[in-house]
Structure formats: C-alpha cells, structure tokens
C-alpha cells in the first residue's frame, strides 16, 4: 500500500490532491518532501495527515501549486 | 423459457427472458395503454419524502447501479435539504457488458418513468432528467416515444439527455456534469448529490432499475413486493449474463435464486471462473460459483459484489489471464485522461497484464507495483475498479498465473474458437 492510501487521522489537517486539476508540476514535492514524493509519472504521492510541525510548510506547498490542485482540509 | 430479442446492446441484440415483475408480460409490448391497464388498482402513492422513505425502507430498496446505496436515504436527505430538489434517472449504461437498463428502458419504460414521477412528487422536485446511453440509439428513440405519450398526464416535466459513448459516462458525477453542460466526465465531489447536486440543488440520482423497483413497490404494496426473494433481500433483480461476448442475456430473478442454473439458461457456464460485477468486478474460481446465489450477502461472502448485476462467465478452454488482459486494455482506453495516475498508470498496467497473458514476464511484481500506484488516486473509482479485476484474477487463478509466469497456459492446450475469451 502506498502512503496515500493510509487511513487519515481525523484529528489532523489533511493534505489532498484534486486529481482532475493536478498536472504533475511537482512543486509540492520540492517544498514538502517530508510528506510528498513523486511517482514514476511525476504525480504526487501524499501522506495525508499533516503533523503540527509541518503545517506551515504544507500551507506553502498548497499556495505554490500552479493548478491549485493541492488542498488542506481542516479537521 | 419465453422471451424476446431486442436491440439493447452496444451493436448486438440482447436476449431477454420473461421475468416475474419488471419483465412480466413482454408480449404486450412497451406501450402506455397496456401499462396503465396493468397498473389499475394501484395503491395511493406516498405524498411526502418521509412517507416514501418509510415505504422504501420497509423492503430495504437499494440502488441497482452498482453502489447499492439505500434509496430511502437519498430521498430523505434530498427532502430535507435546502433548495428545490431534482430527480435524475441514470440509464446511461456505459459498460458494454451490461444491458439490463437499456432492456428495461426499451421494454418497460413506463415503469421506470412512473418511479421517477413517484420520487419527484414525493420530494417536491420540479424536474426529472432522464439520461440514456449514447451508444444505444434505439434506447433513446424508445424513451423519447414513451415520454411523449405520457407528457400530458405527468405532473412533473421530464427531459431526455444522451450520454457520451464511453465507459465512465454513466458515473454519477459524470452524469451531473453532462446535465450542467460540461464534458460528460467524472469529477471530484465533496458533498453528496442528495445535499448539493445539479446546480447546487438537492438531487436524487439513481439507476433506472431502482426507479422501476420503487414504482412496483408503490403499486403493489410491501406484502406483494416481499412475496418473492428472501426475508433479508425481498424482491427481484435484473442480471446481464454474457458468456461469449456476442449473446448477452438479460433476466429478472428473485433474490436467493441459485446462479449456476441461470448461467445454463443463458447458454453459458462458469467452468473456468466468473467475472462477477462486470469489468470493474471480481473474478471467482469455478468452485466458488457452484454455491453462489443471487444475493448481495452471498456475493459478499464469496468476496465479490453484485454491482450492476453483470455476470461474465468464462467457458472451459478460455484463459482468465488473457480475458483479464483484454478487459484491462479496454478499461485503460476508457480513462477520461484527466487524472494523471489513471491517464498514465492504466495503460502501463494494461501493458503489464498483457505481458503476463503472453507469458513474457517471470514475475507479477510490476503489476502489483502499478496497482499500488493508481489505487485511490483519481476523481472517480475507475482506477480502483480496474485493479479490483486484476487483484481478484491473481487471487482466483494462482495456478494459471504460475503457468503464465513460466511461459505456458492451461487454456492454450485446449482448442479455443477464434474470438473467444
């Protein structure tokens, strides 16, 4: 099972990809390698639950996405 | 068994067996006058969403499009949600292996439309949208005639829409996109359509057969509806059985009926296994098919799901690995090409499964790696449905998989007629 399929922890902020918008630019993986890596086609594999200490970086990754495809959902 | 032959398939005729309810009295044709005569003595229809929901709950009527979601919950949610509700009848049978909704729309359109009117009136909807498959023009023509015949008598206006000719066109979010004037493709949705669907309005969207079942229930009452089937799953269900790819059979059977004799009645057998639930379905080995009954519970116990009732049995002499490779190749071509993992992953997966079928690889590692890479990474369940058929193939046919990995095939030893699966 890849990281993206792990059951999300409802208490934490969740990182999700809007798949029909994502074009695989890969900025999210540059900014937030702790939670995002790219698959063989350069699309993000995300670890959904965002730890407290990474919330600021996660927001930076969301803002950087040129397709607005990365989202943080609040608990 | 009596029956008729109709042009409900994608380019093929479908054999339809007479059934106890939905498919009863086929010899009288699909006309409105006959339908009205047969519907005489109908009970009073539920007049509120709550009343209808209670009726539906009494028989646990679930959606027949694949997800088996309780219709009562959609009705209740839409009835109390903010805004004027809309009703959508989904007959956009995009899966080529399924013909039951097209058959129903051709042979018993007024039962489906009665059901849509019933739901619409109970929840106060002002519009009914009926969506038919683009690749089956006879269905569109039949439904148009049926709608015109009853337009004067129907309190809620209905409009007809044609889905695009593709597998994912019938997915519920894709249907709502079509009705919104956008491309007929699946999208990510964050709220249930019963809360916020078409144009943000509460939307009851269900499969054509579901509405027909609701109409029968309202017409005949709970006791009559429950007089066939099992206590846990009352009533009947439509199945499409297609054993060799060019003679699909549609039949209506009571829940709890044994499956194996039905396959025989459809001129098929599952001597080499069964792909249950259609192209997004689950492979079962022959031994698991023997005791199977037409029931959601029986199929769950076997590790499968009844889905939209598509049964694809594999004859002796046909190879399940090759058959899966053909299915996955088709599904990869049916990607909407919008979500990256599906657009790139499914063709790669099709390639890997074909390599296995051809005996060209010594390990199934690449298949597993690609399945992990596409699952739950898309706006709809197209990737997940595709991997379901592959994972179940690996589970159901370990011996065949081993043989292919060593470059041989059990089925190849038997003469296979050209074009057979």
Q: How confident is the model at residue B138 (pLDDT cuts 50, 70, 90)?
A: very high
% pLDDT > 90, chain B: 81
User: In this complex, which of A19, A23, A40 lies closest to B377 when CB atoms are compared?
Assistant: A19
Q: Is the pLDDT of residue B206 over 60?
A: yes
Task: Give the closest-approach CA distance of B30 to chain A in angstroms.
Answer: 41
Task: Give the closest-approach CA distance of A32 to chain B in angstroms.
Answer: 19
CB < 8 Å to B338, chain A: 19-20
Average pLDDT of span B161-190: 94
| Both structure tokens of B258 | 């044994």
At B416 the pLDDT is 40
CB < 8 Å to B345, chain A: 41
Sheet holding A49-50, edge to edge: A49-50, A13-17, A70-73
What architecture (CATH level 2) is domain B19-225? Answer: 3-Layer(aba) Sandwich (3.40)
CB < 8 Å to A23, chain B: 340
Nearest CA in chain B to A16: B377
At A19 the pLDDT is 95
Lowest-confidence pick of A11-25, B29-43, B138-152, B333-347: B29-43
- Residue B104 to residue B249: CA distance in whole angstroms: 13
- Residue B91 to residue B252: CA distance in whole angstroms: 17
At B265 the pLDDT is 87
Q: B109-123 and B137-150 helices cross at what angle (nearest 10)? A: 60
At B418 the pLDDT is 40
User: In this complex, which of A2, A22, A43 lies closest to B372 when CB atoms are compared?
Assistant: A2
Closest CA to A13 of A43, A64, A46, A58: A58
Instruction: Please write the tens of the pLDDT for every residue from B283-335.
Output: 999 999 988 999 988 999 999 999 999 999 998 888 999 999 999 999 999 99
Predicted TM-score (pTM) of this structure: 0.91
Which DSSP string do the residues of B88-112 spell out, in sequence order?
A: EEE-----TT--HHHHHHHH-HHHH
At B39 the pLDDT is 80
Which residue is it, tokens 């080529």? Answer: B96
CB < 8 Å to B377, chain A: 4, 17, 19, 43, 45
Q: How confident is the model at residue A7 (pLDDT cuts 50, 70, 90)?
A: low
Cβ-based interface (< 8 Å): residues of A facing B: 1-2, 4-5, 17-20, 22-24, 39-43, 45
At B226 the pLDDT is 97
Q: B49-58 and B71-80 helices cross at what angle (nearest 10)? A: 170
Q: Judge contact between B240 and B310, C-beta under 8 A.
A: yes
**Beta-carbon count within 10 A of B388 CB:** 22
Q: Is the pLDDT of residue B43 over 80?
A: no
Closest CA to B275 of B253, B248, B304, B318: B304
Average pLDDT over chain B, rounded to whole?
92
At B246 the pLDDT is 67
SS (H, E, C) B152-169: CCCCCCEEEEECCCCHHH
> Between chains, do B338 and A20 touch, taking CB under 8 Å as contact?
yes
Cα B290 from chain centroid (whole Å):
23
Closest CA to B418 of B161, B246, B295: B246
CA dihedral sign, ordered B392, B395, B400, B405: positive
Task: Give the closest-approach CA distance of B162 to chain A in angstroms.
Answer: 23
Q: How confident is the model at residue B414 (pLDDT cuts 50, 70, 90)?
A: very low
Task: Give the closest-approach CA distance of B323 to chain A in angstroms.
Answer: 26
> Between chains, do B340 and A1 touch, taking CB under 8 Å as contact?
no
Instruction: Please write the tens of the pLDDT for every residue from B63-82.
Output: 999 889 999 999 999 999 99
CB < 8 Å to A17, chain B: 377
At B22 the pLDDT is 96
> Between chains, do B188 and A41 touch, taking CB under 8 Å as contact?
no
- Residue B339 to residue B345: CA distance in whole angstroms: 10
Q: Could you state, in order of their start, the residue ranges of all structural domains in chain A?
A: 3-73
* CATH code, residues B320-413: 1.20.1440.230
* CATH code, residues A3-73: 3.30.70.20
> Between chains, do B377 and A17 touch, taking CB under 8 Å as contact?
yes
Q: Is the pLDDT of residue B362 over 60?
A: yes
> Between chains, do A43 and B375 touch, taking CB under 8 Å as contact?
no
Q: Judge contact between A70 and A14, C-beta under 8 A.
A: no
Q: What is the DSSP letter of B39?
A: T
Closest CA to B118 of B213, B230, B14, B2: B213
At B268 the pLDDT is 86
- Mutate one of B340, B344, B345, B382 to test the A interface: name it (highest A CB count within 10 A): B340
Instruction: Please write the tens of the pLDDT for every residue from B242-288.
Output: 987 668 999 999 999 999 999 988 888 888 899 999 999 999 999 99
Q: Judge contact between B21 and B236, C-beta under 8 A.
A: yes
Which DSSP string do the residues of B275-291 spell out, in sequence order?
A: EETSTTSEEE-HHHHHT
CB < 8 Å to B188, chain A: 18-20
**Beta-carbon count within 10 A of B215 CB:** 25
Lowest-confidence pick of A1-15, B268-282, B367-381: A1-15
Instruction: Please write the tens of the pLDDT for every residue from A27-65.
Output: 999 999 999 999 999 999 999 899 999 999 999 999 999
Q: Could you state, in order of their start, the residue ranges of all structural domains in chain B?
A: 19-225, 236-313, 320-413
User: In this complex, which of B187, B344, B378 lies closest to A41 when CB atoms are compared?
Assistant: B344
Nearest CA in chain B to A20: B339
Residue B80: Cβ-neighbour burial (10 angstroms; 0-12, 13-18, 19+): middle
Q: Does domain B236-313 have CATH number 3.40.30.10?
A: no
At B412 the pLDDT is 57
Average pLDDT of span B416-420: 41
% pLDDT > 70, chain B: 96
Lowest-confidence pick of B172-181, B383-392, B410-419: B410-419
Instruction: Please write the tens of the pLDDT for every residue from B81-96.
Output: 999 999 999 999 988 8
């Amino acid at each position: 099972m890849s990281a993206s399929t792990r059951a999300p922890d409802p208490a934490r902020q969740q990182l999700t990809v809007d798949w029909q918008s994502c074009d695989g630019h890969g900025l999210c993986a540059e900014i937030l390698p702790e939670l995002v890596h790219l698959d063989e086609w350069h699309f993000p594999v995300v670890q959904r639950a965002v730890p407290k200490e990474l919330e600021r970086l996660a927001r930076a990754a969301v803002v950087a996405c040129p397709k607005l495809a990365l989202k943080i959902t609040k608990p | 068994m009596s029956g008729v032959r109709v042009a409900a398939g994608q380019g093929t005729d479908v054999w339809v067996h007479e059934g106890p309810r939905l498919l009863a009295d086929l010899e009288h044709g699909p006309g409105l006058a006959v339908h009205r005569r047969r519907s005489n003595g109908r009970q009073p229809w539920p007049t509120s969403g709550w009343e209808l929901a209670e009726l539906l709950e009494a028989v646990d009527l679930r959606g027949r499009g694949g997800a088996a979601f309780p219709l009562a919950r959609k009705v209740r949610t839409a009835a109390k949600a903010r805004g004027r509700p809309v009703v959508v009848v989904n007959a956009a049978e995009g899966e080529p292996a399924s013909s039951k909704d097209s058959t129903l729309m051709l042979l018993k359109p007024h039962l489906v439309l009665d059901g849509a009117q019933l739901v619409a009136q109970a929840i106060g909807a002002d519009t009914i949208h009926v969506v038919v498959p683009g690749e089956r023009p006879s269905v569109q023509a039949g439904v148009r005639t049926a709608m015109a015949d009853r337009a004067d008598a129907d309190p809620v206006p209905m409009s007809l829409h044609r889905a695009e000719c593709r597998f994912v066109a019938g997915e519920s979010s894709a249907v709502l996109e079509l009705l919104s004037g956008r491309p007929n493709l699946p999208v990510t949705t964050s709220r249930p359509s019963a809360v916020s669907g078409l144009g943000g309005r509460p939307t009851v969207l269900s499969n054509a057969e579901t509405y027909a079942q609701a109409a029968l229930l309202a017409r005949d009452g709970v006791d009559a509806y429950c007089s066939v089937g099992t206590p846990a799953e009352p009533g009947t269900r439509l199945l499409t059985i297609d054993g060799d790819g060019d003679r699909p059979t549609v039949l209506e059977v009571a829940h709890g009926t044994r499956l194996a004799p039905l396959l025989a009645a459809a001129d098929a057998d599952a001597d080499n296994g069964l792909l249950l639930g259609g192209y997004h379905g689950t492979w079962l080995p022959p031994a698991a098919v023997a005791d199977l009954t037409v029931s959601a519970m029986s199929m769950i116990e076997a590790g499968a799901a009844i889905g939209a009732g598509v049964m694809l049995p594999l004859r002796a002499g046909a190879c399940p690995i090759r058959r899966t490779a053909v299915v996955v190749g088709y599904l990869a071509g049916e990607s909407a090409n919008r979500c990256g993992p599906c657009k790139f992953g499914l063709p790669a997966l099709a390639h890997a499964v074909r390599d296995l079928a051809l005996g060209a690889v010594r390990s199934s590692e690449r298949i597993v790696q690609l399945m992990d890479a596409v699952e739950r990474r898309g706006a709809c369940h197209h990737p997940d449905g595709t991997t379901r058929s592959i994972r179940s193939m690996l589970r159901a046919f370990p011996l065949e998989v081993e043989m292919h990995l060593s470059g041989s095939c059990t089925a190849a030893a038997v003469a296979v007629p050209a074009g057979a699966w």
